[in-house]
Amino acid sequence: MKKGISIHEVTKSFLGTNGDKVYALDKLTFEPPHGKITALIGPSGCGKSTLLNIIGGFETADTGEVCLQAMNGQKPCMVFQSPALFDWLTVSQNVEFGLKRQHVPIKERKRAVRQMLTWVGLEAFKDAYPNELSGGMKQRVALARVLVLRPPMLLMDEPFAALDARLREKMQDLLLTVWEKLQLTVLFVTHDVEEALRISEQVVVFTERPGRIRASIEVKKDKLSECRSAIYKALL
């Protein structure tokens, strides 16, 4: 069976303040490469978050289809710009939460949480509460909390946009390290061309609203300046 995700002619509208329909996406079709990181970039309001919300099951498309093949019934997981942790739970309890809900046996749960906290470098903070953590640390907990569920696909909506430049780079490195271990399919919304070039193997540039795909650019690490120019050209 074919693996991965395909998005076919997805259209989505919302009701505007004057009662008219506002089209966020218009017959959007694309197939993100399986097991790779794809960056989605485009003008503000062109429907990038709407697309992630439809894939994640938080919104429904008016028409069109999103096919999630060979995911064994598992759902994609989403990471937002603001980490939204459970403030009353410790770091390890936050990471454990989803596994507990899935009734994963306690021994297995603890082992998975320990491993994930090591991956994101938060072992020393396992008993801390979210309000004791910096923004970057909270985002690492948010990442650990979804990765521990071993999702086949990760949807990331400007996850590092609120962090300062140095921390953002550290988080990008962390994402790449984790991605190398898990090889999951990632859709990553960003406004930052350099971030897209650094983390992804493909950059999809959207048109103005209603969002369609203007260009799909393969990132070749030995030809970064050509890729950069192609992205800026598509964004014009």
Ligand X SMILES: Nc1ncnc2c1ncn2[C@@H]1O[C@H](COP(=O)(O)OP(=O)(O)OP(=O)(O)O)[C@@H](O)[C@H]1O
Point out which residues bind ligand X (CB under 6 A): 14, 22, 24, 42, 44-50, 209
Nearer Cβ to ligand X (23/129): 23
Nearer Cβ to ligand X (48/140): 48
Nearer Cβ to ligand X (99/205): 205
Beta carbon of residue 219, minimum distance to ligand X (angstroms, whole number): 20
Please say whether the beta carbons of 157 and 78 come within 8 A.
yes
How far is CA 21 from each of CA 18, 63, 210, rounded to the nearest angstrom? 9, 14, 11
Beta carbon of residue 142, minimum distance to ligand X (angstroms, whole number): 18
Please say whether the beta carbons of 30 and 92 come within 8 A.
no
Beta carbon of residue 35, minimum distance to ligand X (angstroms, whole number): 24
Burial of 93 (0-12, 13-18, 19+ CB in 10 A): middle
Residue 56 is encoded by which pair of tokens? 């994640």
Beta carbon of residue 139, minimum distance to ligand X (angstroms, whole number): 17
Nearer Cβ to ligand X (10/117): 10
Beta carbon of residue 20, minimum distance to ligand X (angstroms, whole number): 11
Beta carbon of residue 45, minimum distance to ligand X (angstroms, whole number): 4
Beta carbon of residue 49, minimum distance to ligand X (angstroms, whole number): 3
Nearer Cβ to ligand X (96/195): 195
Nearer Cβ to ligand X (22/235): 22
Nearer Cβ to ligand X (52/141): 52
Residue 3 is encoded by which pair of tokens? 């693996």
Backbone angles phi, psi at 208, to 5 degrees: -60, 165
